């Protein structure tokens, strides 16, 4: 009897905690590893009784992570995916890192894990891979293009997803700031302060956020009765070469202020002005439609629009999990912003 008890103890130790494997479960239940694997994944023809026995075995030996047992019970993976743009450069990476941090905080609090992947404008194969293989219960997209193929794919698949950003498709659940309003307000404040000949250097116009920011710039000029000079507006400046060409042209046009659609462009503009011996704001005023720590600590600090990126991630993660659980009551959530008037435009 003592030997038998020792054997039972050894078996229990073997099947406890993180040591538990599919092979262990199969041996315990007297079924094949394939049967256990199919029961866990939810694929294949496995009887409900067998699935229930696998669940009970997992719970009995406290298998980690516990989300597997829960997932078996209600056909969930307890994973959510986050898709970042594959072409994001090092300068723009902090935005996506902070956004991911916000998503992870909410996911952890709600007992979900986060799977990260990347997408390109014309290539979403990595996204398809995790969705088609049922790796996630839902997705968060962190960038949106006009005619966005990732959005269309997720809609066709019927998988819950949330966009950090804005879409012209009202059926897409969106979490964003009012970029158009914020940018219009910033330019209006500059005009009201007597700043004239305000130029705009913008990024890729296929990005919805850049289009919204440009619209805010145009609206401010129109509402103040200021003529729009198209040669003072530069779009698709997504490389240092294009930004440099725009700055050199604007320096010849008696421009008083250069407004940039994001902090990456703004940092390059500041660097070029410094190299050419122009002082900010003495010779040229500079502002950005997106703030960052680099602009805040620049000398002089740069006037910019501040948004809480971590909150964007928090809200997107929470909304996605709500949708997974059946709540689709809110399709668009607009978060607040702040306008930071600093020495670069004084």
CATH topology of domain 79-177+309-339: Rossmann fold (3.40.50)
- Residues, the chain: 346
Query: What sign has the CA pseudo-torsion 147, 149, 150, 151?
Result: positive
CATH topology of domain 179-306+340-345: Rossmann fold (3.40.50)
Q: Whole-model pTM?
A: 0.77
Q: Which CATH superfamily is domain 2-74 in?
A: lambda repressor-like DNA-binding domains (1.10.260.40)
Per CATH, 79-177+309-339 and 179-306+340-345 having the same topology is answered yes
Q: What is the pLDDT along the chain (346 residues), one digit of tens a residue?
A: 444 444 444 444 444 444 567 778 888 888 887 788 777 766 667 788 888 888 888 777 765 544 555 555 556 889 999 999 887 765 567 889 999 999 999 999 998 999 999 999 899 999 999 999 889 999 999 988 888 899 999 999 999 999 999 998 889 999 999 999 999 999 999 999 999 999 999 999 888 999 999 999 999 999 999 999 999 999 999 899 999 999 999 999 999 999 999 999 999 999 999 999 999 999 999 999 999 888 989 999 999 999 999 999 999 999 999 999 887 777 899 999 999 999 999 9
Domain extents in the chain:
2-74, 79-177+309-339, 179-306+340-345
φ/ψ region of 241 (left if φ > 0, alpha if ψ in -120 to 50, else beta) reads: alpha
pLDDT in the model for residue 201: 98
């Amino acid at each position: 009897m003592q030997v038998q008890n020792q054997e039972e103890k050894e078996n229990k130790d073997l099947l406890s905690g993180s040591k538990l494997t599919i092979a262990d479960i199969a041996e315990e239940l007297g079924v094949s590893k394939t049967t256990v694997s199919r029961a866990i994944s939810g694929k294949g023809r496995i009887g409900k009784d067998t699935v229930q026995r696998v669940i009970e075995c997992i719970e009995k030996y406290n298998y980690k992570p516990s989300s597997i047992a829960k997932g078996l019970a209600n056909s969930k993976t307890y994973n959510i995916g986050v898709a970042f743009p594959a072409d994001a450069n090092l300068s723009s990476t902090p935005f996506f890192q902070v956004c991911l941090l916000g998503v992870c905080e909410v996911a952890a609090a709600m007992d979900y894990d986060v799977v990260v992947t990347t997408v390109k404008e014309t290539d979403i194969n990595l996204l398809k891979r995790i969705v088609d293989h049922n790796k996630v219960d839902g997705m968060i997209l962190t960038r949106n293009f006009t005619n966005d193929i990732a959005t269309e794919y997720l809609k066709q698949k019927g998988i819950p997803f949330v966009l950090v950003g804005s879409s012209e498709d009202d059926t897409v659940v969106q979490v964003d700031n009012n970029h158009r309003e914020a940018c219009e307000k910033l330019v209006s404040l500059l005009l009201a302060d007597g700043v004239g000949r305000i130029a705009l250097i913008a990024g890729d116009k296929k990005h919805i956020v850049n289009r919204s920011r440009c619209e805010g710039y145009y609206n401010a000029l129109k509402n103040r009765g200021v003529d729009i000079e198209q040669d003072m507006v530069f779009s698709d400046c997504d490389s240092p070469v294009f930004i440099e060409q725009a700055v050199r042209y604007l320096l010849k046009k008696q421009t008083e202020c250069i407004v940039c659609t994001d902090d990456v462009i703004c940092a390059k503009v500041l660097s070029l002005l410094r190299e050419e011996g122009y002082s900010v704001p003495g010779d040229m005023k500079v502002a950005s439609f997106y703030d960052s720590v680099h602009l805040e600590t620049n000398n002089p600090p740069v006037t910019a629009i501040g948004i809480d990126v971590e909150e964007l991630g928090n809200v997107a993660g929470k909304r996605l999990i709500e949708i997974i659980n059946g709540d689709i009551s809110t399709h668009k959530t607009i978060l607040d912003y702040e306008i930071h008037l600093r020495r670069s435009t004084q």
